[in-house]
A and B are shown apart, each in its own frame.
Chain A
C-alpha cells in the first residue's frame, strides 16, 4: 500500500535551532531518505519551505482568489512529506517513526486512494450501513 507521511512541527521551535543543529537534522533526513530508498520504501518526498512562503488558492464562481499564508493556522505546520510504500499500517508506522523530525513534531500517516472512473472510495455517499446483531437466535 502507498502511505503519505506528512511531517508537521512547530516552525518557531525549529527556527530557534543553531545553524549547526539544523544542518545535523538535515543530514539525518538525507540518510533517512537514502535508507528508505535502499529498502524500496521511498516513492517520493520533499521538505517544504516555511508557511511564510505559502499561498492559498481557491476557485469560486469561476474566479481564482489568492491569499497569503497556509489555509489554516495550526500549532504545528506542514514541513514536508514522504510518499512511502509499505506492506500495511504497522510497517508504515515503523517507517514513519524513523523520520527524524518525528522527534520534534508529528508525522501524520495517511493511506492514499486510487482515482477511478466510478465507484470511488470515500467522499460522495461514503456512509456504510451499520451491521446488525447476527446472533444465531435472530433467525429462529
Chain B
C-alpha cells in the first residue's frame, strides 16, 4: 500500500503540483487498468472494514461495489483522493445508509439502523487505523468453528481472498449454485447465531488460531495434492493459501503462523518437480531437485528457524522442519535421516497420530534399513489404524519391493490401488505393478 500511495502522490505532484482533489488536464488519467489493479489490492481491506461498520456481509458487499462504481466515475475527473482507501470506506458507508433509507420507506426499524449508523460516523483517519485489524477480524469470523468446515473454506476464499463464487466452485469441483448456497448459509449463521466480528480473547486465541491455520492448510492441500480438475485453478488455491498465511503473519505474528507459512513454501517449492509433463506423480526420491524453487526454500528455512527458536512452536513448525531437512539435501541418500527421525519423534510425542507413525516408519526404513521400517508399518496395520489408507499400503509395498519380497509387494500395491482416489496416484501404482511384472 505504501508503494501505491507513493505512486499516486508522485504522479499527481509531478504533474500538477497541487492537491489530488484538484482537477487538472495534465494529470495522468486514472485508467481502468489502474483502477482494476487498485481494486485487486484494496477491495478486501475496504470490505473488511465495511462489514464491521455495517454489521452485514451482503450490505457491505453492495456498499463496496457502489463505492468502487463511484470511484470509477469520480476519480478520473477529480483525481485520486489523498487517502483512497478511507474515501472508499466512507463513500461505501454513505451508500449503505442511503440503501437502508430506501428500504426504510417500507419498514420503520430500518430508519433506526440508518440513524444509528450515521451517528457512528468516524473521521477518515479513525477509519484508517482500524482497517488492518478489520482484516484479521474478518479472517477469524470466516474461520469460526461454529461454521461448517467446507463453508469456512468457501467463505474465506470469497470474503478474505476475493475469489468469485464461480472460481471457488470450479477449484473445489462443485457446482456454483451449491457453493453459493453454502456461502449464503454461512452468512446467515453468522448473522443469526451472533458470531461476532472480532479477534478472539487471549484465552480463546490459541484454539481459534488453530482453526484459522487449519482452514489455510486445507485450502493449500486442495490446491497442492489434487491433480484432478483444472490444474491451473487448483494451483491458484495453493498460491491463495500462501498469500493468506503471509497476511496472517503480518497481522498476527506467531511462531505457528510462521511455521505453517514455512511448511507451505517448502512443499510448494517442489511443485515443478513432483509432477511429470504427462501429469504423473514423481516421488521425492526421483524428483529433479534442480527444479526446486530455491527462493521459496530459503524463505521457508528462515521461517522454520525463527519458529523453532521461539520455543512456542507447534505441529506445523515441526512438519516444516522436516520439509526443510529434505529441502537442504542434494539427494535422497544424502538426506539427514537421523534428524528427520528425531523430528518425527518430537511430532509423535506432542501430536500422536497413525499418519505421523507411518511417516516415521518410512524415515526409520531410510535410516536403519527397509526391514526395520516394514516391522513398524506391519505393526501399525495390524492395529487396524490405517488399513483403509492407500499410502500405508503403498509404503509397505515399496519396502517389500526393496527387500525383494515381490509377491507381498504386488499384493500391497493392489490393495493400495483399490483405495487410491486420485488419477495420478492410481497411474503411479499401476506403473509400479507393471515394473514388478517385468521382474
- Residues in chain A within 8 A of chain B (CB atoms): 1, 3, 86-90, 92-94, 109, 111, 113, 119, 121-122, 128-137, 139-140
Q: Which residue of A lies closest to B203 (CB)?
A: A94
With A89-B193, A130-B177 as contacts: A136 and B72 at CB distance below 8 Å: yes
Separation of A87 and B188 alpha carbons in the complex (Å): 18
- Bound CA span A87–B144, Å: 16
CB-based nearest A residue for B69 = A139
A88 adjacent to B39 (CB under 8 Å): no
State how many angstroms separate the Cβ of A64 from the closest Cβ of chain B.
32
Which residue on B lies nearest to A90, using beta carbons?
Answer: B196
Check B194 for interface membership: any CB of A closer than 8 A.
yes
Main secondary structure of the interface of B (DSSP, over half): helix
Q: Which residue of B lies closest to A136 (CB)?
A: B39
Closest to A126 in B: B188
Give B192's nearest chain A residue, CB to CB.
A111
B198 beta carbon closer than 8 Å to chain A: yes
Q: Is the CB of A131 within 8 A of B164?
A: no
- Residues of chain B contacted by A88 (CB below 8 angstroms): 194-196
Which bucket holds chain B's interface residue count? 35 or more
Partner of B194, one of A1, A129, A137: A1
13 contacts between A and B (CB under 8 A): A3-B194, A86-B194, A89-B146, A90-B195, A90-B200, A111-B192, A111-B194, A119-B107, A130-B165, A130-B183, A131-B180, A132-B165, A134-B64
B58 CB–A CB distance under 8 Å: yes
Min distance, Cβ B46 to any Cβ of chain A, angstroms: 12
Q: A128-B188, A136-B39, A136-B72 are in contact. Are A111 and B181 (CB under 8 A)?
A: no
Give the interface SS of chain A, mostly helix, strand, loop or mixed: loop
Pick from A119, A122, A131, A132: contact of B192, CB under 8 Å = A122
Given contacts A87-B196, A111-B192, A122-B192, contact A134 B65 (CB under 8 A): yes
Q: Which residue of chain A is the closest to B182 with respect to CB atoms?
A: A130
Bound-state CA distance A1–B107 (Å) is 22
Q: State the Cβ distance, B432 to closest chain A Cβ, in Å.
A: 44
In chain B between 173 and 222, which residues have their CB closer than 8 angstroms to a CB of chain A?
177, 180-181, 183-184, 187-188, 192-196, 198, 200-201, 204
Does B68 contact A133, Cβ atoms closer than 8 Å? no
List B residues 22-57 near A (Cβ within 8 Å): 32, 35-36, 39, 43
What are the interface flags for B79-91 relative to A under an 8 Å C-beta threshold, 1 for contact and 0 otherwise? 0000000000000
Distance from B30 Cβ to chain A, minimum over Cβ atoms (Å): 13
A113 to chain B, nearest CB (A): 8
Q: What's the nearest-Cβ distance from chain A to residue B168, in Å?
A: 11
Query: Of A94, A111, A129, A137, which is within 8 A of B193 by CB?
Result: A111
- Chain B min CB distance to A65 (Å): 32
A137 CB to closest chain B CB (Å) equals 7
Please name all residues of chain A whose beta carbon is closer than 8 Å to the beta carbon of B293 when the two chains form the complex: none
Sorted from nearest, which 6 A-B pairs have the closest CB atoms? A130-B180, A88-B196, A133-B164, A88-B194, A134-B65, A136-B39
Asked whether B166 is an interface residue with its Cβ less than 8 Å from the other chain, the reply is yes
Q: Tell yes or no: B61 within 8 A of A by CB.
A: yes
Contacting residue for B184 out of A89, A128, A133, A134, CB 8 A: A128
Q: Does B184 contact A131, Cβ atoms closer than 8 Å?
A: yes
A92 CB to closest chain B CB, in angstroms? 7
Known: A109-B193, A134-B64. 6 other contacts (CB 8 A): A88-B194, A88-B196, A89-B194, A111-B193, A136-B35, A136-B72
Partner of A94, one of B32, B35, B204: B204
State A121–B181 Cα separation when bound (angstroms): 18
CA A109 to CA B144, docked complex, whole Å: 15
Closest B residue to A93 using CB positions: B146
Q: Given A130-B165, A130-B180, A131-B183, are A90 and B192 also a contact pair (CB < 8 Å)? A: no
Is A140's CB under 8 angstroms from B32's CB?
yes
Most buried by B among A87, A133, A137: A133
